[in-house]
């Protein structure tokens, strides 16, 4: 079974986005962070959904807007 792995850079980006939005709208920051987690979680079941990265055996996905 495939596992979801967040790189340290991805974690930092996610934290930075959360903190930036939280300053003006804490509820929106939480909702977006949950959306990131939900969409990234789909990669476990559907790895072809993501965009291939330069890191071997990894992919990423972005929430739909």
3-23 pLDDT, tens digit each:
888 889 999 999 999 999 999
Rounded Cα gap, residues 45 and 30, in angstroms: 24
| Residue 41 confidence class, pLDDT cut points 50, 70, 90 | confident
Q: Is the pLDDT confidence value at 65 over 80?
A: no
Question: Given this model, what pLDDT does residue 21 score?
Answer: 98
List all residues 6 or more positions away from 46 whose beta carbon is below 8 Å from its beta carbon: none
The answer to whether 62 and 39 have CB atoms below 8 angstroms apart is yes
| Residue 28 confidence class, pLDDT cut points 50, 70, 90 | very high
Rounded Cα gap, residues 13 and 27, in angstroms: 18
Question: Given this model, what pLDDT does residue 11 score?
Answer: 93
């Amino acid at each position: 079974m495939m596992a979801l792995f967040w790189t340290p850079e991805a974690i930092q980006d996610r934290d930075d986005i959360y903190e930036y939005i939280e300053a003006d709208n804490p509820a929106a920051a939480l909702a977006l962070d949950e959306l990131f987690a939900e969409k990234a979680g789909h990669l476990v079941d559907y790895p072809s959904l993501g965009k291939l990265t330069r890191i071997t055996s990894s992919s990423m996905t972005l929430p739909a807007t």
